Amino acid sequence: MAEANITHHIVAIEAVHCPIPEFDLPGPHTRAVHRWTDPSELPSRLKDATIVITTTIRLTAETLSPEITPKLRLIVIMATGTDCVDVAAARARGITVCNCPGSNIDSVSEHAIGLYFATRRKFIELHNATVAVPADPSLDTEWKTKGSLLSRVRAPDGKAPLLCSDETVCIIGYGSLGKRIEAMAKGLGMKVIIAERKGVSPRPGRYAFEEALKTSTVVILCLPRSAETLNMISTAEFKIMSPHGLLINVARGGIVDEEALLQALKDGAISGAATDVYATEPAGRGDSPLLSPDAAALNLVLTPHLAWYAERTLQNLSASVKITIDKWCTGETINPVY
């Protein structure tokens, strides 16, 4: 429980994503805002912090030790996901951890549907083929030369792409985001099925995990990363998916085995994939096989973890962080992670 007469030092270690609000605390406080913090800079920046705001920068058990963060009492994650904080280590020290649930639901759900269309209709490949200028000046564009580029949008079996009304969308992770995507997909005329978690007997109205993968033509991931969901989609899962299947990941990196996904696309086991998240972020060519030269010619749409980004999301996050810290400093905890 926070006391009003404590002088708090609030440290935002990752302001690159979203403006950090001012706070209305009952007692004196200081506020340090850093655009980005390298792991090597954490000890010096956090040594006097009583409250820390992070988004993706990891606060490990080592960082949360009394030697590095002796005064820390509250962590606010300026995001919905909580995997950037070692919650068990925080709990062991009595450090409260809160997040900002529901702040980005509209933006992420719209992004997920956009990724579906971009992948099913192969927008990026078609754009590149349409504007590409041959090195030989005597040749015209591929479209002009061939008369049509329809061969580029065909499915692996040579058939034309499916319409929304022909799709069966499997949603894995049926929280607020999953429910919002379900409503949008149904609005487009898609059939929607909800998958039970892997290894769990399905509840009424849900499909067993493996059956959902077999039955669907689009799989959308909306669930948190945890020890139970790490590499949840890998070689075995791609083998049972439809060759017309698409995988859309707007959840967290690490839920999909990236090496297995690359191989599945190369083998034609699935038709395409799109992801906004990666096992290592920010991702460079040495961090993910999905950014390797082997992936360049595949039906793979990549965005840099910006599905959340919208003006409304920024407003929601800023407001949520402000009220969470303001209330905690008066003795009320909202949005606790545990």
Query: Which positions are annotated as active-site residues?
Result: 252, 281, 305
SS3 category, 213: helix
Residue 79 tokens read as 């995001």
Residue 151 tokens read as 């061969």
* Side-chain half-sphere exposure of 220, counting CA atoms within 13 A: 33
Residue 289: count of CB within 10 angstroms of its CB:
16
Backbone angles phi, psi at 118, to 5 degrees: -60, -35
Q: How far apart are alpha carbons 307 and 273 in whole angstroms?
A: 15
Q: How far apart are alpha carbons 316 and 302 in whole angstroms?
A: 26
SS3 percent helix, strand, coil of the chain, rounded to 5, is 35, 15, 50
Backbone angles phi, psi at 287, to 5 degrees: -95, -25
Q: How far apart are alpha carbons 244 and 156 in whole angstroms?
A: 7
Q: How far apart are alpha carbons 254 and 18 in whole angstroms?
A: 24
Beta bridge partners of 52: 11, 75
Q: How far apart are alpha carbons 95 and 151 in whole angstroms?
A: 57
Q: Are 308 and 316 in contact (CB under 8 A)?
A: no
Q: How far apart are alpha carbons 51 and 77 in whole angstroms?
A: 11
Residue 28 tokens read as 């004196």
Query: How long is the chain?
Result: 338
Beta bridge partners of 336: 98
Q: At which residue do the structure tokens 């490949």 appear?
A: 125
